[in-house]
A and B are shown apart, each in its own frame.
Chain A
Amino acid sequence: MAVARTKIKSIGAAQSPLLGAAMFSPAVLYILLLVAGPFFLAIFYAFSDARIGNTEMHYVGLENFRSILQSPSFRVAIRNSLIFTICSQMVVIIGANILAISLENTFRGRGLIRFLILLPWVAPIALGAIGWKWILDSIYSVITWVLVAAHIYKPFSAPMWLGEPHLAIASVLLVHSWRMMPFSTVILLAGRTAIPKDIPEAAAVDGAGFWRTQLQIVIPMMRPIISVAVLFGLIFTFTDMTVVYILTAGGPFDSTQTLPSLAFTMGIQGSDLAAGAAISLFLVPVLVIIAYFMLRVAHRAEVN
């Protein structure tokens, strides 16, 4: 006993403030350098006329914001960001619930199917998106090939999945959904297995059928866990630019730009750092709201 106690004392962070600080510092450094630093730099740039390749910088007040708000590309980007984020989350939550329900019961090959469903999540998103770029390619698309082979479309008049504004938006949206589906499915599956088996059985004895049991008992009981899946999905999708950048690079005619991809296009590729920074600041209020709800869910989970 005595030996164990002194041992614990010697490594106890409480006894040695320096050691505690040392253990804590990587996290603090990481947040300061990679989160807080760029964030304040973006605020700083947004009120300036900073450009790549130009060492001079002047304070311009709200000029950047004024010109952005007047730009049609920006309005499209805001609309797209909201459409992609909200619609893909709706697709994801419905799809993930269906998958979670069908993967809940044991059957032959369930392990394999679970693995396949998780694949899009573990594969690097850039690789997945490049795969989809080929699947949706204007010439080599397998989808087009199948539609032509099935005589639904004639060759050369087949849809250009990434070349027509509406189709391009739908394509990006579905790839986003494909990307987030595994994550939500795994979370919802975990949430489902946490519900005691008695509860759906009691509902069955009480006379509820499949739909009533799911919609009035199981899914409401999973509300906290569904909120977690949705909030993570919102953040991942809202801040993501990989999918858009690889599939369409914002095109055609900026019709699929989102806030992050437009900020990148204007700020880095277009050398207008100030405009890029100003655009990216528009992400902040939305992310703050999402973060608020995440903290609330986390707090509730702690309380219960």
Chain B
Amino acid sequence: MTDGGPMAVVQTRNLTKVFKEGQLGAVNNVNFETREGEFLVFLGPSGSGKTTLLRMIAGLETPTSGDILIGGRVVNDLSPRDRRIAMVFQSYALYPHLSVYKNISFPLKAQNVKKELHKEKVEWAASLLGIGALLERKPRELSGGERQRVALARAIVREPAVFLLDEPLSNLDAKLRASAREELERFHRRVGTTSIYVTHDQVEAMAMGDRIMVLNKGVVHQLGTPTDVYDNPADTFVATFLGSPPMNLVELGDVIVGFRPEYFRPASASTGDSVPFRFKVENTEYLGSEWIVSGTLVGGKFEGRKIFSRLTAAQDLHLGDTRDFVVPQRELKFFDRTTEKRVEPRVLSWQ
């Protein structure tokens, strides 16, 4: 970092965006604060407001109410150019008529950086992303992965205080996505700039995020480390949105009890204090390293409830079998039945 100044934290206070008056907001009362240099992921289904939130931070969308702070300063009224942010768009939004060199130097020109410095800075950014050989090409002559690198180089070249990334991997095919993800992680470790990354892909979120903010319908459901949101979901939405297949939920009295498919196992394999179920196998999927078994609970209060199990071996389970399964007591998560929020574990009568 040369003249980029200090890195910055991004903070919002009761940030709200209502597109049409009288309608539910796209973003409702969002409060969060990034940490210095962290990689924060906004995770949510489509329509959850994550992109709107990011666009408000970028200055492309005006908040209906609330404040955005970057580096401790309220930036609501600043134009994007004055916020010292850089954004990588889902489509990369490279300028198609400009060469890679001119794409990368455009922010320098736009910010009136001295002309003598352009070449050096562009070359620095290009070498950081390994695209030094592509500088004379036009965007249409590049592959998807190369375009992403150009977009990143264009973002990094003026050394922004904050990086905003809007689903930058969603345009890549599955194979390229894994390597591009790894590259992004390495890139972030190298530059260490505070980054906010929007995605609907929980695998990306879990793999890349220092912390994950789970959003739905414009409301923050949980902000925590990947382990936090996976192991200690704050409510049933987070519990079912993360994990594939999602957490199993069964209703019991005034609580909802949840358990991850990987802890729903045949009784023979269990040790210690656990809750027994009768489970009828209805479908099995072999995924190479694991099996996904789905079926319904039999008997008791949960007759007919659909349940997933994730097992390392399931060769001896046959369609139509009814077996004894168990869940370790300590792996049960409890949610309030009306608020759907997490509550303290309690002793329940299972029969």
List the interface of chain A (C-beta within 8 A of B).
Answer: 196, 198-199, 201-209, 212, 216-217, 220-221, 223, 304
Given contacts A220-B97, A221-B95, A221-B96, contact A206 B89 (CB under 8 A): no
B154 x A206 contact (CB < 8 A): yes
B87: which A residues are within 8 A, CB to CB? 202, 205
A304: which B residues are within 8 A, CB to CB? 140
B329 interface residue, CB < 8 Å from A? no
A208 x B81 contact (CB < 8 A): yes
Binary flags per residue of B88-132, CB closer than 8 Å to A gives 1, else 0: 011101011100000000110111000000000000000000000
Once bound together, how far apart are the Cα atoms of A206 and B158, in whole Å? 9
B60 interface residue, CB < 8 Å from A? yes
A205: which B residues are within 8 A, CB to CB? 58-60, 80-81, 85-87
B79 interface residue, CB < 8 Å from A? yes
Once bound together, how far apart are the Cα atoms of A284 and B89, in whole Å? 49
Binary flags per residue of B16-59, CB closer than 8 Å to A gives 1, else 0: 00000000000000000000000000000000000000000011
A-B residue pairs in contact (CB < 8 Å), sample of 18: A198-B89, A202-B95, A205-B59, A205-B85, A205-B86, A206-B106, A206-B110, A207-B107, A208-B110, A209-B81, A209-B110, A212-B109, A212-B110, A216-B106, A221-B95, A221-B96, A221-B97, A223-B97
Once bound together, how far apart are the Cα atoms of A204 and B109, in whole Å? 12
Given contacts A207-B111, A221-B96, contact A196 B81 (CB under 8 A): no
Once bound together, how far apart are the Cα atoms of A208 and B95, in whole Å? 13
Given contacts A198-B89, A217-B95, A221-B97, contact A204 B60 (CB under 8 A): yes
Given contacts A208-B81, A209-B81, A221-B95, contact A202 B89 (CB under 8 A): yes
DSSP majority for the A interface? helix
A201 x B106 contact (CB < 8 A): no
List the interface of chain B (C-beta within 8 A of A).
Answer: 58-60, 79-81, 85-87, 89-91, 93, 95-97, 106-107, 109-111, 140, 154, 158
Once bound together, how far apart are the Cα atoms of A216 and B105, in whole Å? 13
B158 x A207 contact (CB < 8 A): yes
B60: which A residues are within 8 A, CB to CB? 201, 204-205
Q: Which 5 A-B pairs have the closest CB atoms?
A: A198-B93, A202-B93, A207-B110, A207-B81, A206-B107
Once bound together, how far apart are the Cα atoms of A217 and B79, in whole Å? 18
Given contacts A205-B87, A206-B107, contact A199 B95 (CB under 8 A): yes
A217: which B residues are within 8 A, CB to CB? 95
B95 x A196 contact (CB < 8 A): no
Once bound together, how far apart are the Cα atoms of A180 and B264, in whole Å? 74
Once bound together, how far apart are the Cα atoms of A231 and B96, in whole Å? 23
